[in-house]
Every structure is written in structure tokens, then in C-alpha cells.
Amino acid sequence: MGAPDEKLLSLNTATVRQQWQLPDIIAGCARHSIRGIAPWRDQVAAAGLKEVAARIRDSELTVTGYCRGGMFPATDGASRRAARDDNKRAVDEALTLSAQCLVLVVGGLPKNREGRIDSKDLLGAREMVRDGIGELLEYARPAGMPLAIEPLHPMYAADRACVNTMEHANDLCDELGAGVGIAVDAYHVWWDPHLKREIERAAGGASGKGTSRLLAYHICDWLVPTTDLLTDRGMMGDGVIDLPLLRSWMDGGGYRGMHEVEIFSANNWWKRDPDEVLATCKVRHRDCS
Ligand code: ZN
């Protein structure tokens, strides 16, 4: 398998979020000839939505995803309604940014009004997720904003996402219909024995003839040992994920989108010169993914 086209590299802004504000990141992408970006809502809010949209447009960056919506489960109706309203705002912002999808981190066990987990009802949480995405779809589908369910590694099932496999995400897509797809993040799904099969399933839709559900592809690496559940992701090539193999499966599934580097790294990459980080992303994307 040859090296990936460098034009397909996209930067999830979490990768340098500790060093730069969003306008700096946009300028950094331009400086390093990185053509895609995936910004986070808090960074967009801090810099101003319209201002960010204009800068991204001027820099001719493709917005490979908007991070993020979701967090549906809650023990009380008021919190669920608040999540619903906030997710609609996220759809509106994603539209303003011309994002290719709104990424959904769906939420874990139901939380109370104070934001603390207040239930052990995992099955109920998954029903709330299905219902929450279904309701949001009624808003997002006519607006033309695809929703991308991101299955997260099962270590996050309690507090971040109770959708943990591609199979579960595919099942939700089957149930909910058009307008919803999947963000495949190598970090979250690399271990799954059914990964190839489920990528193929996502590529063809339920019937094998439908349009692809593969809406985004996030890359980084799994370090051994991993010292933090959230903020110890590795740069491509520094860990144990066979990224070229995974890319071949995505390509085989007809995925033609960009490869979004998303690295949370409190003790390494977040401490480095951000220009060095972007330069390294480019080299490792070419050589190790
Ligand atoms: Zn991701």
C-alpha cells in the first residue's frame, strides 16, 4: 500500500489546543499546507463563529467534522431537553462552518442536573442515545447536516459514550435511516475483531447497495503502556495500530474523505512547539499511516 495523498491530511484542532487558539491553528494549517481542519465548539465560541467561518473559508480549508454534539443520556427531562437544544445549536454552527458532518460523542450512563453519573442503567442510556439521535435527525436531516456517530473505546462507556463498537453504530444507522453515519477513529476501534466486517457493512449500507456511512476517519496511535485514559494518545507510528491496514479497509470501503489527526497528549505533543507538531503530523501521515 502506497503512502497516502498528503492532500488528505486534516487536523483535529485538539492536537494543538494547549498551545494555540483557533485563529493560530487555522494560520498554522495554511503555513504547513494542511488542507483540512476539525474544530471544537469551545474554540469556535472563543474566537467567534462568523469570524472562524470566514477565516476557514479564506484559507480554503475543508472542515472534515465539527466536534462535537451528543451527550444525550440524562436522568431528568429538563437535562435531556437542554441537551436536545444544545445539539440543535451545534447543527446550526456546523452548517455555518460548512462542516462535512457533526461528530456525535453520544454520552455514557445517565447524569443528573449536576452532571454526575446518577444511574447504572446502561441499556436505558443506549435507548436515550437512540432516541436523542433520532430526534436530532429530524432537525439535521432537512438542514443537510450529516450526523456522525463516533463509537468510543469501551473504557469510556460510563462517562463519554455507550456506543463502543462499529457494529453498534451500524445497528443504530440501520434503525435511524438516512442522515446518520459513522466517524471511524482508529484509537477507539482498532482492537475490534469485527472491524473489517463492520467497515465493509458501513461502506455499503444495510443492503450492501446503499450509500456509504463512512463520514470521517480519525487517526493517531495507541501507546503501550497508555498512562492516561484520555490524554495519552500517540503520534502515528509511535504505537501499535496497523494504520496502513486500517486505511486499506477504509479505502476498500470506498472512503474518499480526509484523514484527520486527533491527538490528545498532555505530557508530550501538547508540550511541544506547535509548528513542530504540525510538521511531524505531515511526516507521520505520509510514512506511518
Ligand atoms: Zn475521534
| 37 assigned to some structural domain | yes
Ligand 1 centre from 117 Cα, in Å? 23
What CATH number should be reported for the domain holding residue 129? 3.20.20.150
pLDDT for 225: 97
Residue 204's pLDDT band (boundaries 50, 70, 90)? confident
| 274 assigned to some structural domain | yes
Ligand 1 centre from 102 Cα, in Å? 12
Ligand 1 centre from 13 Cα, in Å? 11
Return the SS3 of 189: helix
d(CA 63, CA 83): 24
Ligand 1 centre from 184 Cα, in Å? 7
- DSSP string of 73-111? -BSSHHHHHHHHHHHHHHHHHHHHTT-S-EEEE-B-S-B
The total domain count for the chain is: 1
Q: 260: domain range?
A: 6-288
Q: In what order do the strands lie in the sheet with 62-63?
A: 62-63, 36-38, 9-12, 259-261, 214-219, 180-185, 147-149, 102-105, 66-70
Residue 206's pLDDT band (boundaries 50, 70, 90)? very low
Ligand 1 centre from 150 Cα, in Å? 7
Amino acid letter for position 58: D
Ligand 1 centre from 230 Cα, in Å? 11
d(CA 273, CA 170): 39
- Tens-place pLDDT, residues 71-95: 999 999 999 999 999 999 999 999 9
Residue 209's pLDDT band (boundaries 50, 70, 90)? low
| 203 assigned to some structural domain | yes
| 215 assigned to some structural domain | yes
What percent of the chain clears pLDDT 70, i.e. is strictly above it?
A: 98
Cβ atoms of 26 and 56 closer than 8 Å: yes
Ligand 1 centre from 50 Cα, in Å? 25
Q: Give the pLDDT mean for 185-207.
A: 90
| 1 assigned to some structural domain | no
pLDDT for 207: 47
Q: Give the pLDDT mean for 173-177.
A: 97
Mean pLDDT of the chain: 96
d(CA 26, CA 52): 9
Q: Which of 65, 21, 20, 12 is nearest to 44 (CA)?
A: 21
Q: Give the pLDDT mean for 272-276.
A: 98
| pTM score over 0.95 | yes
Q: Give the pLDDT mean for 266-282.
A: 98
Ligand 1 centre from 27 Cα, in Å? 22
Ligand 1 centre from 55 Cα, in Å? 23
| 82 assigned to some structural domain | yes
